Structure 1
Amino acid sequence: MEMSASISLESRLSNATSPSCKRLRLAILETDPELVTVCGTFADLFKQLFTNSTTEAEERAEKVVLDIATFNVVKGSYPEPDDFDGILVTGSRATAFDNDPWILKLVEYIKRVHDSSSARLVGICFGHQVIARALGGVVEENSAGWEISVTKLRLDDGGQGAKLFPEAGAEGELRLQQLHRDHVAMPPPGMHVFATSERSPVQGLYEEGKVLTLQGHPEFNEAVARSSVEVQIVSGNLSEAEGKDALARVAIQNHGADVGKAVVRFLTGVV
């Protein structure tokens, strides 16, 4: 285990006078711990996201406290699933369908958590992809190319997406920072796809009480997103026109903070 921290996320109904307290234990599995963005590691970004996000516990009146511990799974550090309420798998520069020993070990761990534990799984970008792989989905390189910067997602019409993300409003759309070339081409059997985009048919996966994943990066602020786009431009992964378009979209207001709220709602069992 690398580190731990407690984050208080107060969620009070308007008519509540003395909210109870619910303590949630969240394990963050770092799948690219050596990557340090302009605002810190992936784990740092998620801690900031949850610090900035509050959740409306719609049928409860309580103060939610997240106890967060991080684990370097690349080096083989894993939590005991039953010690945590939720397990979040971060993004990574690695390829989710590769067969590196640490990725294969992660796939087997995800299967065990899903099948034999009450801990809820959350996956972001690489985490979304590797969870899909572990549970029987298909992950591959996207022939349509990179999906990068703020991108519009379509939620399923009147379905689970609207319940997960009421902040999306009547238009039924989410906007999230993206940074990926690989994608989930086919979801795991029985898993609900609640969001799609023009380039990626599987932007979000949901299984009640078990799994919530997203291809986008709710934890990316503008500085991190802009730096990431610039890295891809310098690396030659984006053409001049693609880079210009991505930079033009990087500051568009998006639903990253709302996804932070949704993750906490999921962990508390509200959705």
Structure 2
Amino acid sequence: MSSPLRIAILECDTPVPEVHKRYNGYGGVFSTLLKSSAKTLHLDPETDLEITAFNIVDDDKYPKLEDVDAILLSGSKHNSFEDHPWILRLVEFTKMVLAQDRVRILGICFGHQIIGRALDSKVGRSDKGWEISVCDMDLTDKGKELFGREKLRIQQMHQDIVFSLPPGVVSLGSSPRCEVQGMYAAGRFITVQGHPEFNGEIITEIVKVRSTGGIFTEEMAKDADDRAFNEQDGIAIGAVFLKFLLEE
């Protein structure tokens, strides 16, 4: 792996207004996470990481693979199973990255689902409803090995899921509302259904917008807000992502 580690963030959405104002897009949200995680690994976030962002919803420009070491697919309010032109382009780009063996991939929520779709797994609405705010993710043996703990506490914000593991892919964990909470292929990709990049402030802003818009009921919003600032493992998850990208 080259130094610095070159990570291209594919912004699959624009954050809600207050979050966008604070972070300048999901590129800023993920940069904050990755730089905080880098410090826990004794990396210099300013010299050891080179982070770029690409708004792939409003623009069709993608990074050249020879210019990066890793691709990160962000979350999104959009549906991973729909056939909008930009989503189809993203699926095809993801297939291209998966077809080579140098550039690695991180998939978060919508990005996790896009990788599942690119590998021909079914993605779509869960019949178990929304999973919101800090929740437990029960880890498989591989998940425990990678994350170094028995379970993960991770922010959630989804009602879409990957229904089954693609062939040859290892499960990292599950929850009562989502059987495929993470996927792993050695030297190729790691995904999580949850949002390690979200903190309590970001979750409460999203909940407020979606509650005002009638997406969340008052009861759902209160339950999410009550758990939004619970202890969670986002920075530790980011550190595992970076170790995965750096390993030979």
TM-score (norm: length of structure 2): 0.91
The residue identity in structure 2 corresponding to 1:163 is: E
Q: For residue 37 of structure 2, what is the aligned residue in structure 1?
A: 53
Aligned CA distance change for structure 1 residues 79 and 208 (closer, same or farther; 3 Å): same
In 1, the alpha carbon distance for the partners of 2:16 and 2:65 equals 25
Q: After superposition, what is the alpha-carbon deviation per residue over 1:86-132, rounded to whole angstroms, capped at 9, x for unaligned?
A: 00011111110100111111101111111124100111111111111
In structure 2, the partner of 1:23 is 4
Deviations for 1:116-164, whole angstroms, at most 9, x for unmatched residues? 24100111111111111011211010111111000100001xx211221
Whether 1:101 and 2:79 are equivalent positions in the alignment is: no
Match of 2:28 among 30, 44, 49: 44
Work out the CA distance in 2 between the residues paired with 1:34 and 1:239.
21
Whether 1:133 and 2:138 are equivalent positions in the alignment is no
Give the counterpart letter for 2:144 in structure 1.
A
Report the counterpart of residue 164 of structure 1 in structure 2: 146
Tell me, what secondary structure is at the counterpart of 1:53?
A: helix
Q: Does 1:191 align with 2:169?
A: yes
Against the structure 1 CA distance between its residues 189 and 43, is the aligned structure 2 distance closer, same or farther, given a 3 Å change threshold?
same
**Which 10-residue stretch deviates more, 208-217 or 67-76?**
67-76
The reply to whether residue 267 of structure 1 matches residue 245 of structure 2 is yes
* Secondary structure in structure 2 of the residue aligned to 1:201: strand
Which amino acid in structure 2 is aligned with residue 105 of structure 1? R
2:6 partner letter: R
Q: Deviations over 1:39-78 (max 9, x none)?
A: 3221111011112113666xxx976711111112221010
1:238 maps to 2:216: yes
Aligned to 2:189: 211
More helix by proportion, 1 or 2?
Answer: 2
User: Structure 2: any 5+ residue segments left out of the alignment?
Assistant: none
Deviations 1:211-259 (A, max 9, x none): 1111111111111011112222222222332222111111100001111
The 1-side partners of 2:136 and 2:246 are apart by: 27
Tell me, yes or no, if the aligned pair for 2:9 and 2:52 is still in contact at 8 Å.
Answer: yes
Show the counterpart of 1:73: 56
Aligned position for 1:145: 129
Question: What percent identity do the matched residue pairs reach?
Answer: 39
Aligned length: 241
Using structure 1 for the length normalisation, give the TM-score: 0.84
1:91 alignment partner, SS class = coil
1:250 equivalent among 207, 220, 228: 228
CA–CA distance in structure 2, aligned partners of residues 175 and 192 of structure 1: 20
Q: CA offsets, 1:181-202, max 9 Å, x none?
A: 1111112111111110110001
RMSD of Structure 2 on Structure 1 (CA)? 1.9
Work out which of the two has the higher radius of gyration on C-alpha atoms and give 1 or 2.
Answer: 1
- C-alpha separation between the residues in 2 aligned to 1:243 and 1:147? 12
Q: Which runs of 5+ in 1 are unaligned?
A: 1-20
Following superposition, the deviation at residue 34 of structure 1 comes to 6.6
